[in-house]
Amino acid sequence: MALWAHARGWRVVRPNPYHVQQGMQRQGRRGKTDRQDARMVARYGQQPDLPTWPPLSEEVAEREQLVQWRANVQQHLAHARTRQPQIVAHPQQHRAVIEGVQRLRVQLEADLREVEQAIAEHLASHARLQEAHTLLRTVPGIGAKNVLPLLVTVQRWDTMTQGQGSSKGLVALVGRDPTPHESGTSVWPHPHLSRQGDPRCGGCSLWGPCAVRKAPSANSMIAW
């Protein structure tokens, strides 16, 4: 719907529902009905300083869809590979079930090869993406499995912030920001990572310290 509205020249705002709810509660509104929710969203949308939602460029959006589809296929394929030996070993298993799970595994393996080929063709058709991809692979800890999810995340962050995002904001986006907690001289629990970031960034594996620099040659934000 957001893309449909943006294509027609409408100003699109996608606020965090939690922020909308908290804003209304600060005004003393505690009820929960459909009419109150609609009124709450309408009043929130009347604020003049709400940031406009920027859509991803076509090439980044295609890349994100390919990465997400590959992750889905890999997840289903791993499940099929795990279940197949158990199904075959069952002494009372019907032949149709065994043949079905074998066909499913073969089809998923074919789907994975197809999406991998599509990703390779997509990389080859975008020179800047290929350059950023090669640059990221030089960073220790970044390999074939996490380079594309990381690249998509960084490019999405660059679009969300219109190129003005900070390294701390990017770390918070992926849920790797530290959350120290201390009070006085007696409360000193161990700090931990917040893990409250975008769940789509879980495959990026941004563990440990993170830094961000601008890579002029790739014209994109590179993180490690």
What is the pTM for the complete model shown? 0.69
Q: What is the pLDDT of residues 4-37, one digit of tens each?
A: 888 888 888 887 777 777 777 777 766 778 888 7
CA 121-123-124 angle, 5° bins: 65
Only one residue has tokens 């701390």, namely 168
Q: What is the pLDDT of residues 156-188, one digit of tens each?
A: 888 878 778 787 877 777 777 777 777 777 666
pLDDT at 218: 37
Which two structure tokens, joined as six digits, stand for 74?
A: 């890999």
Which two structure tokens, joined as six digits, stand for 17?
A: 């529902």
Q: What is the pLDDT of residues 34-49, one digit of tens each?
A: 888 788 888 877 787 8
Distance between CA atoms of residues 146 and 21, nearest Å: 35
Going by C-beta distance under 8 Å and a sequence separation of 6 or more, which residues neighbour residue 156? 56, 60, 64
Q: What is the pLDDT of residues 123-146, one digit of tens each?
A: 888 888 888 888 888 888 888 888
From residue 47, how far is each of 10, 41, 51 by CA, in Å?
A: 16, 11, 10
Domain residue limits, the chain: 16-48, 56-125, 127-180+190-224
